[in-house]
Chain A
Amino acid sequence: GEDVEQSLFLSVREGDSSVINCTYTDSSSTYLYWYKQEPGAGLQLLTYIFSNMDMKQDQRLTVLLNKKDKHLSLRIADTQTGDSAIYFCAETNTGGFKTIFGAGTRLFVKA
């Protein structure tokens, strides 16, 4: 079945850039998402990209999609301590009836 994989941890210094990577298996993915979850809270949609796009930039966030390799990344520029959270990669296929989530990458930002 469809699968989404992410590394579990990432640690960066405040002010550096963070890059969180994700791979997926469903070649019919239509939408790919990045969600942020802070402790004890639900998920907040950060950004999403359509599968026919290569890149999307939104302020400090840059999403890169390599559809051939089924690789998605999220770059956070000038990472702040408030960015410490779990980041989930997710994809929805053409049918759009189910979203598959990765296990989440826990980002630690050191002051």
Chain B
Amino acid sequence: GAVVSQHPSRVICKSGTSVKIECRSLDFQATTMFWYRQFPKKSLMLMATSNEGSKATYEQGVEKDKFLINHASLTLSTLTVTSAHPEDSSFYICSASRGAGGGEQYFGPGTRLTVT
């Protein structure tokens, strides 16, 4: 149990376009979902925390108008990178938690975004 999927696994887009990444908890209800960005050889940087039905809480330095997060249901959260630029190229990973906090998180396989 506790499987989290992400779609797409890889995406290439042109500068100025928007890209949507989906994160789904397949066999449990996720009260909280997290979005991380991982730079090469670096740790995960938490971008935002989202709870179903409420606005996401963004970490300091993360532009909420650029990285739109929608937690539409207890099994789905989406991250939309708007007006993407090459510097947005990265590995984006979501995780989901049954509880309201960041206790045990189940991670998706990640999405590799390349902006050309």
Contacts and interface: CB of A to CB of B under 8 A. Distances in A.
Interface of A: 8, 31, 33, 35, 40-45, 48, 88, 92, 95-99, 101-104, 106
Chain B interface secondary structure, helix, strand, loop or mixed? Answer: loop
B49 interface: yes
Best-buried of A41, A96, A98, A99 by chain B (most CB within 10 Å): A99
Contact of B49 (A31, A97, A102, A103): A97
Interface in B20-48: 34, 41-44, 46
A23 to B, nearest CB: 14
B16 interface: no
Contacts of B6: 42
Contacts of B95: 42-43
A97 B44 contact: no
A101 B34 CA distance: 13
B1 interface: no
B102 A88 contact: no
